Amino acid sequence: MKHLILFLLLTIGLDTYARKIEGYVVLKNADTLKCEIVQNFAVISGIDVASFQYGIRVVFDDGKKRNFMPEDIKAFGIYVKNDTLHFVSVTVVSPGMFGGVDEKRVFMRIIQRGHIKVYYFIDLMNGPNGPVRTPVYAVQLRYDDVAYWLEAKRNDTGRYDFKAFFKNFIPEYYAFFDSLPDRARLEEVLDKIRKFNKAMVK
């Protein structure tokens, strides 16, 4: 609910101050519609991925405007220079603070496709001076309905335990990821996933 309220507040005044970016939306029936995606007016320049994560406002060719939450559509994309940024509606599962699991549905930018999909997300992490915008990643098996935060597991020293994560995430192919260094950096993990996806299509 708090994300819905925040999204609605950010759309107030967009018609006057917003920047519109050419793009498309993919409806639940898989129809793809050309439109303009409205960029949050608070962003002076560039593309702020975080402003699209909990909802988007679009303008269709006939002038009609509509808001879409992650539950409403399958995906959308925006055209930036010579590139296209693709965002997918994804349910992400994470360990609950008091046990169990937490689920939330958001739009995330997809940066790798294949047997393991990789998504990019901007989250608010607690810092010494308050919340800090931090890039995080989620992964999803091609045949699964939900994604999982890649940085979900930590070892006894507080470091991210990527090997333990993959042992639970994809046990049938864990041997491929067991060669990761115990102190693997995130860049190494993403490269390992890239190599795994490439190997799976051979």
Q: What is the pLDDT along the chain (202 residues), one digit of tens a residue?
A: 545 444 444 444 445 456 899 999 999 999 999 999 998 655 555 678 888 999 999 999 999 999 999 999 999 999 988 899 999 999 999 877 677 788 999 999 999 999 999 999 998 777 788 778 888 999 999 999 999 999 767 766 667 889 999 999 999 999 999 999 988 999 999 999 999 999 998 7
Q: How far is CA 54 from CA 63, 65, 113, 159, in A?
A: 23, 17, 22, 29
For residue 142, is it left (φ>0), alpha (ψ between -120 and 50) or beta? alpha
pLDDT for the residue 160: 82
Nearest Cα to Cα of residue 36 among 15, 54, 50: 15
Nearest Cα to Cα of residue 88 among 22, 152, 146: 146
- Residues in contact with 157: Cβ distance below 8 Å, sequence separation at least 6, in sequence order: none
2-80: CATH, from 2.60.60, 2.30.30, 1.10.10, 3.90.480: 2.30.30
Alpha carbon distance 122, 109 (integer Å) = 10
All CATH 2.30.30 domain ranges of the chain, comma separated, are 2-80
